[in-house]
Amino acid sequence: MTFSVPSTTFLVNKDYFLIRPLQNIPKVVEFFSFYCPYCYQLEICNKKNNIFNKNSLNNMNIRHYHVIFNNNFDLSITQAWSIAIALNIENKVILPIFSGIQKVHTIYNKKTLKKTFIQYSDISPQMYDTLWDSLLIKKILLKQIQTSQLIQLKEIPTICINGKYVINNNIHLKSILEFIKSYTVVTNYLLNIKELKIVKK
C-alpha cells in the first residue's frame, strides 16, 4: 500500500469539507456575487498583492461562478458574466462591475451593466447583443445556476476544488490578506492530494 503525504496536512471537516462529487466543472471554482462586499474586498486584495501568482494558482485557471439570489437583476448580471467567461475576459470586467454595483453605483439595470461591460471589455455593442442571445451564453449561464444549486451553497465566497472539496471559510479570519493566503495554501494542498493506491504484489 503506497500513498503520498504532503509536508503540510490539512484536516477534513476543519480546513475543508467533502461534498457529493460534481461532474464536468473546473478544478478550482469560486462561487461569488457582485453584491457581496466580502467578495469585492477579496478581489481587490488579490489584485493588489498578486497572491494567486505568488502561490502558483493563477495557472490553475480559477473559474468564478456568479450566484443568483432573489434579486431579479442577478440573472442579468450572471448572463453578462457568462459573456466574460466565454470571451475569457473576466479579469477585465470583474472589478469595474464590482465597483459599479457597490462603490460608485453606476450599475443598476441591464442598460448600465451593458455600458460598463462594453467600456472595459472593448467589445462592440453588436457583439454583446449577439452573444447575449446565443446558445453558448445560455449554456454557460445554466451551468453556473445548476452547479450553484448542486453544491448547496451556505455562504459566499465558496471555493470548490476538483468538484469534491469545499474550503472552510473560517480557516483564517484575522484579515482578508491572510484569508487569501490561507485558502491558496489549502487549495494547493487539495489539488495535489493523491488517491490511495493499492499495490498488488
196 has a pLDDT exceeding 60: no
The maximal CA–CA distance of the chain, rounded, in angstroms, is 67
What pTM value is reported for the model?
0.85
* pLDDT at 142 (0 to 100): 96
**Residue pair 119/89 in contact by the 8 Å Cβ criterion:** no
Distance of CA 42 to the CA centre of its chain: 11
**pLDDT band per the 50, 70, 90 thresholds, residue 178:** confident
